[in-house]
Amino acid sequence: MLSRVANLIYWTARYLERCENTLRLIDVNAQLVLDLESHDDFHDPRIWEPLVYVTGEEKKFFKLHGKIATEEAVVQFLLFDRQNPSSLLSCVAGARENARCVRDQISSEMWEVLNTFYLKLKTQDYQTYVQTGSNEYIADLKLRTQQIYAVAESMLPRNEGWWFYLLGRYLERADNVSRILDIKYYMILPDRHHVGSALDVIQWGSVLRSCSAFEAFRRTQRGQLKLESVINYLIRDKEFPRSILASVAAAENCLHKICVEKAPAHTKVLLAEIGALREHLENSEVTAIIANGLHEYIDDIQSRVASVGAATVDCFVNYGPAKATLA
């Protein structure tokens, strides 16, 4: 497969996964607001602010919207703002542009469903969100992204491109879940004296929900929503498909598929890197993670996921002439 084509498919998948995570985050937050008991909390700007940090685009946000992160500003920024490269609209537009260039390889149907989504989304704004009702509107958007996955699943040829597509999704997911966990943890931290309180349970519930992990957690962990068990679940659970470990392990599998029939000399380092990351996650102890600082731990995971992504692109797309082999 041409490097350019593989790269475009990989990024299409990353954009799509980011869309889904952004939508989950907003959805859960909008619901969390309704669970807050006091009116003061309801209007606390800190309720929406963490979402901005999740995107990593906080500087741009505060420059555009001032210091107060209102629901309107945050939703507008996360869903419709083209100046935010991680906004839903930016991601859908990016996925669409990429898909257009490889239409022949990914099937016209997949491009068409992305194109329709984009054309509709670009006519909408915060008013649509308010008028439709946040819950219903986000549910509809989520359904549309799921629809794209479904078309991809049924239409994408099971060649190398398929594995690049999945690789993009899993790496993006590992990154997004780690961000959500990091930010939420930071937000809940000041309230640690409330451990075991109703609010604490709600907060940790919302963290799980942001990763669509609430029911799965309840089913398998049986326990109360406790700091350690939630963190352990989201980072290290082997079965839950959105845990960081499961995402990294799935990405590792994709890389092995891609590396079949490639010169081992050039893929060895990359496979070793992701293998080491997976083992690191497997061998971590949650109590030690918390004692040594969750933020530091997650920071390290994030940069290692990013490094695998960059190494992948270097290995298959941006390789220099020295690394090139004649296959």
- Binding positions for other proteins, rule: CB under 8 A: 1-4, 6, 100-101, 103-104, 108, 119, 160, 164, 258, 261-263, 266, 316-317, 319, 321, 324-327
Residue 222, classed as helix, strand or coil, is coil
Those residues whose C-beta lies under 8 Å from the C-beta of residue 133, and which sit 6 or more positions away, are none
Smallest distance from the beta carbon of 115 to other proteins, in angstroms?
A: 8
Could you give the count of Cα atoms lying within 13 Å of 14 in the half-sphere of its Cβ? Answer: 21
The CA distance from 47 to 31, in Å, is 11
Whether 177 contacts 244, CB under 8 Å: yes
112/279 with CB nearer other proteins: 112
Virtual torsion, Cα 169, 89, 304, 185, nearest 10 deg? -110
Q: Which residues contact 258 (CB under 8 A, 6 or more apart)?
A: 160, 163, 164, 167, 316
Given the structure tokens 């920071």, which residue do they identify? 299
Distance of closest approach, residue 111 Cβ to other proteins, in angstroms: 10
122 or 238: whose CB is closer to other proteins? 122
Q: Which helix (H) or strand (E) holds 34?
A: helix 3-35
Rg over alpha carbons for the chain, rounded to the nearest Å, is 20
Nearer to other proteins, 8 or 208 (CB): 8
Please identify, using beta-carbon distances, which residue of 77 and 162 lies nearer to other proteins: 162
For tokens 């799980």, the residue is 208
Instruction: Write out the two tokens for 256.
Output: 């092995």
Shortest spacing between CB 104 and other proteins, in angstroms? 5
Residue 49 beta carbon to other proteins: minimum distance, rounded to whole angstroms: 35
The residue (of 288 and 326) whose beta carbon lies closer to other proteins is: 326
119 or 306: CB nearest other proteins: 119
Distance of closest approach, residue 170 Cβ to other proteins, in angstroms: 18
Q: Which residue lies nearer to other proteins by CB, 68 or 324? A: 324
In whole angstroms, what is the distance from residue 153 CA to residue 304 CA? Answer: 28
Residue with tokens 């210091």: 67
Phi/psi of residue 87, each to 5°?
A: -65, 160
We find the least distance from the C-beta atom of residue 103 to other proteins, in angstroms, to be: 8
